[in-house]
């Protein structure tokens, strides 16, 4: 056994053993795949480090080169251009892209995050204890950020008058500061980023009202694996193998988060292990290992929820609603039994 596998620990090895990975072309050269994540090597990317470092890709006959991304828009542009075969992007951003690029659509083949982490946080000292209390308030937000773009869906689901909102447009690094200094009464943004940012400024949970959109009528999917439909169709078995390795990596990151972060540090030595372990655990409990996933397995997309999500996204963004088959396919998923996560 290679030395690196001795470092994994039983939990990670058990997770990998639960997924049957078979080389799609036993006698052929490994199939090269350029893969771009949605962001830097942080806690939420640990599962991809596991998939690479444990040799899952190699065993499946894949030669995967993984590069960090710079946001969902960046990953979408790179896959759409053909510079990368596979990427990771926020589901809502993919829907928006497909609606505005009908001749160059991308499709999602695996849902990583069952719940999007779009959210609003209001200061209790400003009288914000529930979504309706945002009426007439000043809200800090980054132009183009998913939580701001999708705020109309949150508002519609919770009786908030959009015309009454006073937006305080800020740079991402000043978003939490604006609330802390009193220049805004509330803030919208990625749940983990905003909450941890406010914590760093000394704001306690007891001082704010945390409102994940998913808890208030906007149950959107989060990050997903994206690909060009034509490429996936022409590489069906490699696509299935890649998804299986994604599942193996997620299972390992849930069962042995500390080992997964340590593995990621091999790829990026600058990783702050404790900080990224906290981020991974936050993402796991809030977005990935949800009650739905515990019950139905990873990437269990139901027609009803998908249609509702597409309606909410298109209404919020003011775009044409795409057909479900244009943005999602289950063709490359393994059986549900392989997508279940044992407690």
Query: CATH number for the domain including 122?
Result: 3.40.190.10
Q: Which of 217, 226, 195, 230 is nearest to 78 (CA)?
A: 226
Label residue 46 left, alpha or beta by phi (over 0 means left) and psi (-120 to 50 means alpha). alpha
Q: What number is the average pLDDT over the span 241-248?
A: 98
**What number of other Cβ atoms are within 10 A of residue 100's Cβ?**
11
Residues 333, 226, single domain; the answer is yes
Does residue 149 share a domain with residue 98? no
Predicted pLDDT at 144: 85
pLDDT of residue 11: 59
User: Both 108 and 246 in a single domain?
Assistant: yes
Q: Looking at the structure, do residues 283 and 202 belong to the same domain, yes or no?
A: no
89 and 191 part of one domain = no
Banded pLDDT at 3 (limits 50, 70, 90): very low
Out of 200, 215, 230, a domain closes at: 215
Q: Please, what is the Cα angle at 310 between 306 and 313, to 5 degrees?
A: 135
Question: Do both 316 and 190 map to the same domain?
Answer: no
State the pTM of this model: 0.88
- If asked whether residues 334 and 190 sit together in one domain, one would say no
Based on the domain organization, do 335 and 225 belong to the same domain?
yes
For the record, the structure tokens of 72 come out as 């969902």
Diameter over CA atoms, the chain = 66
Domain boundary residue, one of 157, 183, 215? 215
Full residue range of the structural domain in which residue 152 is found: 118-215
**Segment 133-168, tens digit of pLDDT:** 999 999 999 998 899 999 999 999 999 999 999 999
Least confident interval from 141-145, 210-214, 312-316 = 141-145
Q: Do 168 and 234 sit in the same domain of this protein?
A: no
Provide the number of structural domains found in the chain.
2
Q: Each residue of 90-99: pLDDT tens digit?
A: 999 999 999 9
28 and 110 inside one domain: yes
- Do residue 107 and residue 15 come from a single domain? yes
Contact between residue 153 and residue 312 where contact means Cβ atoms under 8 Å apart: yes
Q: Is the pLDDT confidence value at 294 over 60?
A: yes
């Amino acid at each position: 056994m290679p030395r690196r596998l001795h470092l994994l620990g039983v939990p990670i090895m058990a997770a990998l053993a639960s997924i049957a990975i078979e080389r799609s072309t036993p006698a052929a050269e490994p199939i090269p795949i350029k893969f771009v994540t949605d962001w830097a090597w942080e806690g939420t990317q640990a599962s991809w480090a596991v998939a690479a470092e444990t040799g899952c890709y190699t065993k499946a006959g894949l030669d995967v080169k993984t590069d960090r991304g710079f946001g969902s828009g960046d990953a979408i542009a790179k896959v759409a251009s053909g510079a990368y075969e596979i990427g990771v992007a926020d589901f809502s951003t993919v829907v928006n892209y497909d609606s505005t690029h009908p001749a160059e659509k991308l499709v999602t083949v695996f849902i990583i995050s069952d719940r999007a982490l779009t959210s609003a946080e209001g200061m209790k000292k400003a009288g914000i204890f529930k979504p309706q209390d945002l009426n007439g308030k000043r809200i800090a937000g980054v132009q183009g950020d998913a939580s701001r773009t999708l705020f109309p869906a949150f508002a519609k689901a919770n009786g908030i008058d959009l015309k009454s909102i006073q937006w305080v447009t800020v740079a991402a690094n000043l978003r939490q500061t604006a609330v802390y200094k009193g220049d805004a009464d509330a803030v919208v943004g990625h749940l983990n980023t905003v909450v941890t940012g406010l914590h760093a400024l000394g704001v306690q949970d007891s001082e704010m009202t945390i409102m994940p959109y998913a808890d208030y009528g906007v149950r959107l999917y989060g990050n997903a694996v994206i690909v060009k439909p034509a490429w996936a169709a022409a590489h069906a078995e490699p696509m299935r193998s890649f998804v299986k390795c994604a599942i193996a990596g997620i299972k390992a990151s849930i069962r042995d988060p500390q080992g997964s972060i340590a593995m990621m540090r091999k790829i990026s030595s600058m990783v702050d292990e404790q900080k990224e372990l906290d981020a991974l655990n936050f993402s796991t409990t809030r977005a990935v290992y949800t009650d739905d996933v515990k019950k139905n397995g990873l990437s269990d997309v139901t027609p009803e929820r998908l249609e509702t999500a597409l309606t909410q996204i298109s209404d919020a963004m003011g775009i044409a609603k795409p057909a479900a088959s244009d943005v999602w396919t289950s063709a490359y998923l393994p059986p549900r039994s392989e997508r279940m996560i044992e407690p």
